[in-house]
């Protein structure tokens, strides 16, 4: 049985003709950059997320970079983030010649451990970038309390968490700014790279918009050095169509997760993802398995034609690019253990009960 991690063409089938018609109209319009679809999508995104302002950009990575620039991160600054996340979170901090300061993750949520943040703060610390990993929000109540105490900015890295919630608040509305990624495999995926920055601060939104167009509010008049962070009109048009289906896909992912939960319940060697009272949107469904058998399970899934993935094989504090000469790597044991235990299973919202049960049976048999 062939069970991919996510069957994107199948997701598109019900509205494929609408996507193609939008492409045809756009190709004839000549408005490939900053066309009307960009503003339309930004307005729809504010409605969906509850944020006051949204600026669509070229990728989730560029969203992070632009947000950090807009908040004034400069060489010598320190920004605290989790070591257990995709590279872009820390890479964008380093690209501004600031220092990413890594703290450990929580074993149950995979997210940044708020209890480790305060000890990592120094006089050079300017902000915190918590990551809503795999579709579950970080503990923003605790993170924001620390940020207020030390007068630090907070950027939510919500690249994997559009539609998620914590404490009755939506992902994207709990920090000074938040970023989303629309990489094709995300819950809301473009037909290529795209992203967005949302905020409740009008002045910050204005600065983001200037920075995404080479620092120019008026054409050819550059107030500062920005970048080319503009979204293609084509991607905005595609996302506008797909956004209408996002709630249905989220419910589909949660349905799959519930069946996985039931199938694995009580197994002594399997730890399933926890929601912790939050609204989890399951960008990934990630198990924790015994480290000495995780790879055996993945090999069994591959042999059965079932997709799986290792998110992530190494924490960021052990990446060679972040190593300093003569400096010992930080001791962040939870994240290091998670890297050897995690295994992501197919989370396509169209999975049938039979396919889910096949995945569950294959995992159990391999163990």
Tell me the β-bridge partners of 99.
78
Token code pair at residue 27 = 């190709």
Residue 190: predicted pLDDT? 98
How far apart CA 145 and CA 161 sit, in angstroms, is 21
User: Residues 82, 202: one domain?
Assistant: yes
How far apart CA 120 and CA 103 sit, in angstroms, is 7
User: Residues 208, 333: one domain?
Assistant: no
The predicted model gives 89-97 an average pLDDT of 98
Residue range of the domain that includes 225: 8-105+112-243
Examine residue 258 and state whether it is found in any structural domain, yes or no.
Answer: yes
The predicted model gives 245-262 an average pLDDT of 98
Classify residue 83 by its DSSP letter. S
User: Residues 250, 271: one domain?
Assistant: yes
Boundary (domain end) residue, out of 222, 243, 264: 243
Torsion of CA 118, 119, 122, 125, to 10 degrees: -40
User: Residues 64, 182: one domain?
Assistant: yes
Split at pLDDT 50, 70, 90, the class of 326 is low
Residue 338's Cβ-side half-sphere holds a number of Cα atoms within 13 Å equal to: 27
CB 15 within 8 Å of CB 241: yes
Tell me the β-bridge partners of 128.
80, 154
End-to-end CA, the chain: 20
Closest CA to 174 of 195, 149, 150, 147: 147
Looking at the predicted structure, is the pLDDT value of residue 248 above 70? yes
Closest CA to 88 of 119, 57, 113, 109: 57
Token code pair at residue 108 = 């149950």
Would you give the distance in Å from CA 142 to the centre of its chain?
A: 20
Give residue-wise pLDDT tens across range 126-165.
Answer: 999 999 999 999 999 999 999 999 999 999 999 999 999 9
User: Residues 74, 126: one domain?
Assistant: yes
Residue 327: predicted pLDDT? 59
User: Residues 80, 179: one domain?
Assistant: yes
How far apart CA 202 and CA 155 sit, in angstroms, is 16
CATH number where 56 lies = 3.40.640.10
Integer CA distances (angstroms), 161 to 111, 206, 235, 338, in order: 12, 24, 19, 20
User: Residues 358, 271: one domain?
Assistant: yes
Boundary (domain end) residue, out of 211, 243, 275: 243
User: Residues 260, 177: one domain?
Assistant: no
Total of domains in the chain: 2
Closest CA to 272 of 247, 2, 309, 282: 282
CATH number where 308 lies = 3.90.1150.10
User: Residues 150, 255: one domain?
Assistant: no
Examine residue 2 and state whether it is found in any structural domain, yes or no.
Answer: no
User: Residues 257, 230: one domain?
Assistant: no
Examine residue 330 and state whether it is found in any structural domain, yes or no.
Answer: yes
Taking 3-state DSSP, the helix, strand and coil percentages for the chain, each rounded to the nearest 5, stand at 45, 20, 40
Tell me the β-bridge partners of 196.
56, 180
Give residue-wise pLDDT tens across range 233-244.
Answer: 999 999 999 999
User: Residues 211, 78: one domain?
Assistant: yes
How far apart CA 103 and CA 329 sit, in angstroms, is 12
Looking at the predicted structure, is the pLDDT value of residue 341 above 80? yes
Examine residue 1 and state whether it is found in any structural domain, yes or no.
Answer: no
User: Residues 264, 287: one domain?
Assistant: yes
Tell me the β-bridge partners of 307.
none
């Amino acid at each position: 049985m062939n069970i991919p991690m996510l069957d994107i063409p199948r997701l598109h089938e019900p509205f494929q003709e609408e996507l193609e018609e939008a492409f045809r109209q756009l190709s004839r319009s000549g408005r490939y950059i900053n066309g009307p679809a960009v503003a339309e999508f930004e307005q729809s995104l504010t409605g969906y997320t509850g944020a006051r302002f949204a600026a669509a950009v070229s990728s989730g990575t560029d969203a992070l970079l632009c947000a950090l620039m807009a908040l004034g991160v400069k060489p010598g600054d320190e920004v605290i983030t989790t070591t257990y996340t995709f590279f872009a979170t820390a890479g964008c901090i380093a690209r501004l010649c600031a220092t990413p300061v890594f703290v450990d993750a929580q074993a149950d949520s995979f997210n940044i451990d708020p209890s480790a943040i305060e000890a990592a703060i120094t006089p050079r610390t300017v902000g915190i970038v918590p990551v809503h990993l795999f579709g579950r929000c970080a503990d923003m109540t605790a993170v924001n309390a620390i940020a207020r105490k030390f007068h630090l900015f907070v950027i939510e890295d919500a690249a994997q968490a559009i539609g998620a919630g914590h404490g009755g608040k939506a992902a994207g509305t709990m920090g000074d700014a938040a970023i989303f990624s629309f990489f094709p495999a995300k819950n809301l995926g473009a037909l290529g790279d795209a992203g967005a920055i949302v905020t409740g601060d009008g002045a910050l939104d204005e600065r983001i918009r200037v920075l995404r167009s080479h620092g120019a509010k008026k054409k050819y008049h550059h107030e500062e050095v920005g970048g080319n962070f503009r979204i293609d009109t084509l991607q905005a048009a595609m996302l506008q169509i797909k956004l209408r289906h996002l709630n249905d896909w989220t419910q589909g992912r949660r349905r799959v997760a519930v069946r996985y939960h039931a199938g694995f319940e009580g197994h002594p060697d399997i730890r399933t993802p926890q929601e912790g009272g939050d609204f989890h949107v399951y960008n990934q469904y990630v198990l924790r398995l015994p480290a000495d058998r995780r790879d055996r399970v993945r090999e069994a899934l591959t042999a059965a034609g079932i997709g799986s993935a290792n998110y992530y094989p190494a924490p960021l504090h052990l990446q060679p690019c972040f190593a300093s000469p003569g400096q010992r790597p930080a001791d962040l044991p939870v994240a290091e253990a998670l890297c050897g235990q995690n295994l992501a299973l197919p989370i396509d919202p169209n999975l049938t009960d039979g396919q889910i049960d096949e995945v569950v049976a294959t995992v159990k048999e391999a163990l």
